[in-house]
Amino acid sequence: MSYADLSFAQWNDLSDGAAGRIAQDIAARHELTVVGTGDRAYAGRSHRSVLFDRGGMRFALVPGGRPTLGYDAGRFQPLPHQAADYADSAAEFGLPSLTEHVDAMTSPARGADMPAMLVAVDAFDPCEIPLAPDDPRVRELVAAVQGRPGGARTLGPDGDGLTVEFDRTGQVVRARAIREVSYEEAMAGLASLGLRTATPDEWEWACGAGATTLFRWGDDCPEHGYPYDHKTGPHRQGNLWGLAIGQDPYRHEVTTERTVVCGGDGGGATCGGSGFFLGWLTIATAFRDEDFGRWSASDEGYADEILTRPVIELG
Domain ranges of the chain: 65-114+181-313, 128-178
Which secondary structure element, helix H or strand E, spans residue 151, and what is its range?
strand 151-154
* Per-residue pLDDT tens digits for 256-288: 999 999 999 999 999 889 999 999 999 999 999
> How far apart, in whole angstroms, are the C-alpha atoms of residue 251 and residue 253?
7
pLDDT (average), residues 32-46: 94
> How far apart, in whole angstroms, are the C-alpha atoms of residue 95 and residue 245?
28
Does 254 have pLDDT greater than 60?
A: yes
Which secondary structure element, helix H or strand E, spans residue 62, and what is its range?
strand 57-62
* Per-residue pLDDT tens digits for 7-17: 999 999 999 99
* Per-residue model confidence (pLDDT) at position 240: 97
Quote the percentage of the chain above a pLDDT of 70: 93
* Per-residue model confidence (pLDDT) at position 144: 74
Query: Which comes out higher in pLDDT, residue 95 or 303?
Result: 95
* Per-residue model confidence (pLDDT) at position 166: 80
pLDDT (average), residues 113-118: 97
Question: At 225, is the secondary structure helix, strand, or coil?
Answer: coil
Return the minimum-mean-pLDDT range out of 86-100, 113-127, 289-303: 289-303
When the pLDDT of each residue in the chain is averaged and rounded to a whole number, the result is: 90
* Per-residue pLDDT tens digits for 123-165: 998 877 777 778 887 887 777 766 555 555 555 434 457 778 8
Burial status of residue 31 (CB atoms within 10 A of its CB: 0-12, 13-18, 19 or more): exposed
Q: Which residues have CB under 8 Å from 158's CB, separation 6+? A: none
* Per-residue pLDDT tens digits for 56-72: 899 999 999 999 999 99
Does 228 have pLDDT greater than 50?
A: yes
Quote the percentage of the chain above a pLDDT of 90: 71
> How far apart, in whole angstroms, are the C-alpha atoms of residue 193 and residue 310?
10
Nearest residue to 311 (alpha-carbon basis) of 133, 166, 114, 75: 114
Does 221 have pLDDT greater than 70?
A: yes
Query: Which comes out higher in pLDDT, residue 148 or 81?
Result: 81
In single-letter form, the type of residue at position 251 comes to R
DSSP label at residue 81? H
Top-confidence range, 95-104, 149-158, 303-312: 95-104
> How far apart, in whole angstroms, are the C-alpha atoms of residue 51 and residue 33?
8
